[in-house]
Structure 1
Amino acid sequence: MLRELVKGDNAFVPTAALRVAVRNGVDVAALLVTEQGRVRGDADIVFDGAPAHPSGAVRLSAGEDGTAWLETALPSVEEEITRVLVVAWTEEGALRDVRGLSVEVFGPDGATVVGYGVTDAGGETAMVLAELYRRSGGWKFRAVGQGYVDGLTGLAVDHGVDVDGGPQEVPERIPTPVPAALPTPAAPAEAGAGAQGPRLTRDQILDMTPEQIRALALARRQAGAGAPDRALPAASSPPVPKPGPSDWTCGPVFEPRTVTGRDNDVITVKDLPHGPVMVELSLKGDVYTGLWPLDESNTKGRHLVNSTAKDFWGRVVTSVPEHGRLRLRLEANGSWRVRVLPLAEARRLSEGRLEGWGPDVLLHTGGTADVTFHYKGDTNFIGHLYRLAGHMDPTTLPNPGRPAVNEIGARKETLPLPEGPLLVRLTAADGPWNARLKDVRPHSGGRDADGPVKLPPEPRGALGRLLRARR
C-alpha cells in the first residue's frame, strides 16, 4: 500500500531489489555516499553518462513520459555505503517550474511502497529529492527535498565531488536553512559606558547565577538598538569573552569588526590575523541569501550561507588568509550586518539551558560531558565537533570528520563530548533548538590523544564528466 510522505518523513522499505521512479522530465542521478556523507570517487555517481554502479547495486534508465528509473538492489549495496541519494536537477528554469516532481518506490512485486511529491520547490536548480539509508539492520526511505540554488555544483561539492579536478577542502553539508536566529544581545550599559556597556570578564560570567544571566540578557535586548526583531530567549547565556590560554588553543584573538549595508555587495575586512574566525550575518529580507568567501583571484569558495529564509541570522566559520584581508561575496535583498568575530566569542555550553535558532558555533572547555540537543525544526539538523585539545596550529581548525549529528526533523539527540576545548559547529538548524550539558566532569588538564579522522581519497573530475554528459 502506498504511503505518501511529506518532506522530512521516513518509512522502512523492504531490503530487496526496488525500483525508484523520478518524475517529471528532470535530469536524475544517484550518489552512493559513506557515513561521512561523501562519495568515495567517480564510480559512486550513477548518471546517464555512467548508468551503472560497479557493484551492480544501482542502475539508471530512462522511461516514458519523462520518468527516470533507478534500479536499487539494496542487498548488494556495499557495507561502506550508508545512503543512496536520489538527485534531480534542471538546466532550464528552476525546479519550481517542474510540474509533478515526485519520487515513487516500487517493491519486488511491482506494488508501490512509498512516495513523495515535491510541493515546495523554489528557485533551486538542483535537489536531493530523497534517500535510501541504513537503519536498525534494514533500509528506510526519507523524503528530503533539499534544494541548492547554486545548482548541481553546490550539491556535488557538499557530497565530496571534486568540481575542478584538483584537491579540495573537506566540504560541509550546508543545506538551505529556513528560519532565522538572532544574536545574543550586547552587554548592558553602565554609568560612564556606551550603549553596549563594558565587557564582562570570564570569571564574572562564570560566577553569575541563572537569575543574573536572565537579567543581563533582558538588559542587553533593551539596549541593543538595530538588532533584528526575533531575539533569543531571555534564558540564553550572554556572549562569552575571550577565554584564557588555559582553555583556548585555536584561532586568533582580535577586536570584533562590523560592516553594514544593503542588498548585494562584496565585503572586505582588512588587518585581521590569519586563521579561523566566525562570521555573523544578520539580514532583514525575504528572498535568497548567499554568502561565499572570495580568494585572491575573486573566485567564490564553498557556501557559508545558502538560505531562502526571511530575516536570516546565523554564525558560520571561515578562515582569514595570510595577508589578513577577508573578502566575502554577499547576495541579499534587504539591509544586513556582518560581524567578524574571534572563535573565542562563541557562546559557551553549560549545564544551564542555551537556546538558539539557526546555524551557530558553540564552545565547550570543561571535562568530558554529554550534551543534549532538543531540536524543533522539520528538516536538517547537522553538527560537527572540532577537537582542539592537542591541536597546535592556531591558523587552522582540525578536521571534524563525519557529522556528530545529521538528522532530519524534530528530535532529541544526546552526544558524548570529549574533554575541551571543543567547538560544536551547528552547520544546519532550520528551527529552534536548545542545548544543555550534563554529567560534566572536571577538566583533567590532559590532551586528547586522538588524531583527526581520516577521510577517503578525494574524487576527481566527476562533476565535469556529469555536466559534459548533459551538453
Structure 2
Amino acid sequence: MGVNLTKGGNVSLTKQAPGLTSVVVGLGWDARTTDGRAFDLDASAIVTDADGRAVSDQHFIFFNNKTSPEGAVTHSGDNLTGEGGGDDEQITVNLASLPAQAGKVVFPVSIYGADSADSNGQTFGQVRNAFIRVVNSADSSELARYDLSEDASTETAMVFGELYRNGEEWKFRAIGQGYSAGLSGIARDFGVNV
C-alpha cells in the first residue's frame, strides 16, 4: 500500500520502489449533481526544468498533445464524464527517458474550456472524490496517493501534484493549488505559450 499524503506532503518514490523507471499517474474525480449540463475535467502534464519553466511548448501534454517530443510522457486520452470507479485519466511518465533538463512533471486538472466553465458557473467546488495517485508501472503497486479535500469553490483549474527530481531520487509532492484563470493560466505560469 502506498503513502497517503496531505497537502504539501512529499514522498521519495525511488525509496518506495528501488530501481523505479516508469510510473502511471492516475487522476480521478466525480462531479457533484449540478443542473444537468455536461461536466468534463481534463488532466494534463507539464514537463519543466528545475526552476519550474516548461522545457518547451511541446512538453505541455494534454488531450490535444498526448505525447511529449521524446515520448517520455504519454496521456491515455480524455474521459468526458468522470463516471465509474478508479482512475478517470492516466498519464504515463518514463522517468529514464525524460530530457536531462527536466526537473519536474506537474499535473494540472481543469474544467474543459475555462471560458465555458466560467460561463457555465462550473468550478472545482462542484467536484468531489478528487485524487491523484502514483503507480509503479512495473508491478502496478500504488506508491503514493493524495485525496484532495479543499474547497475550491471559485477555481476552474488545479495543480493536483508533481513529480520532481531531488539529486538521484524522484519524489512526489501533493499540491492542491487552485487557479481561477483556468488551464491557460496554469500553462502561462509555467512558461507555455498558449
TM-score for both structures, normalised by structure 1: 0.33
Partner residue in 2 for 1:104: 133
Partner residue in 1 for 2:123: 94
Partner residue in 2 for 1:135: 166
3-state SS of paired residue (2:44): strand
- In structure 2, how many angstroms separate the alpha carbons of the residues matched to 1:153 and 1:120? 22
> Are residue 37 (structure 1) and residue 58 (structure 2) matched?
no
**The one of 20, 38, 43 aligned to 1:28:** 43
Q: Which runs of 4+ in 1 moved over 2 A?
A: 62-66
**CA 1:82–1:120 in structure 2 vs 1: closer, same or farther (change >3 Å)?**
same
Displacement of 1:98 in angstroms is 1.1
Contact 1:87–1:128 (Cα < 8 Å) also in 2: yes
Partner residue in 2 for 1:146: 177
3-state SS of paired residue (2:132): strand
What amino acid maps onto 1:146 in structure 2?
Q
- In structure 1, how many angstroms separate the alpha carbons of the residues matched to 2:155 and 2:70? 31
3-state SS of paired residue (1:143): strand
Partner residue in 2 for 1:333: none
Unpaired runs of 5+ residues, structure 1, are 163-462, 464-471
Displacement of 1:87 in angstroms is 0.9
3-state SS of paired residue (2:155): coil
RMSD: 1.6
3-state SS of paired residue (1:99): strand
- In structure 2, how many angstroms separate the alpha carbons of the residues matched to 1:121 and 1:28? 19
Contact 2:73–2:94 (Cα < 8 Å) also in 1: yes
**The one of 77, 86, 103 aligned to 1:82:** 103
Q: Deviations over 1:298-327 (max 9, x none)?
A: xxxxxxxxxxxxxxxxxxxxxxxxxxxxxx
- In structure 1, how many angstroms separate the alpha carbons of the residues matched to 2:67 and 2:142? 23
Partner residue in 2 for 1:158: 189
Contact 1:126–1:147 (Cα < 8 Å) also in 2: yes
Q: Deviations over 1:348-406 (max 9, x none)?
A: xxxxxxxxxxxxxxxxxxxxxxxxxxxxxxxxxxxxxxxxxxxxxxxxxxxxxxxxxxx
Q: How many residues align?
A: 163
Unpaired runs of 5+ residues, structure 2, are 15-19, 30-39
Contact 1:102–1:118 (Cα < 8 Å) also in 2: yes
3-state SS of paired residue (1:49): coil
Query: How many percent identity over aligned positions?
Result: 31
TM-score for both structures, normalised by structure 2: 0.79
Contact 1:57–1:72 (Cα < 8 Å) also in 2: yes
Contact 1:103–1:129 (Cα < 8 Å) also in 2: yes
Higher relative contact order (CA 8 A, sep 6+): 2
- In structure 2, how many angstroms separate the alpha carbons of the residues matched to 1:159 and 1:99? 26
**The one of 134, 140, 146 aligned to 1:116:** 146
Contact 1:121–1:147 (Cα < 8 Å) also in 2: no
- In structure 2, how many angstroms separate the alpha carbons of the residues matched to 1:151 and 1:53? 22
Contact 2:55–2:101 (Cα < 8 Å) also in 1: no
Q: Which moved more, 1:150-159 or 1:63-72?
A: 63-72
Contact 2:108–2:183 (Cα < 8 Å) also in 1: no
Partner residue in 2 for 1:125: 156
Q: Deviations over 1:31-75 (max 9, x none)?
A: 001122111322111111110111111100136737100011111
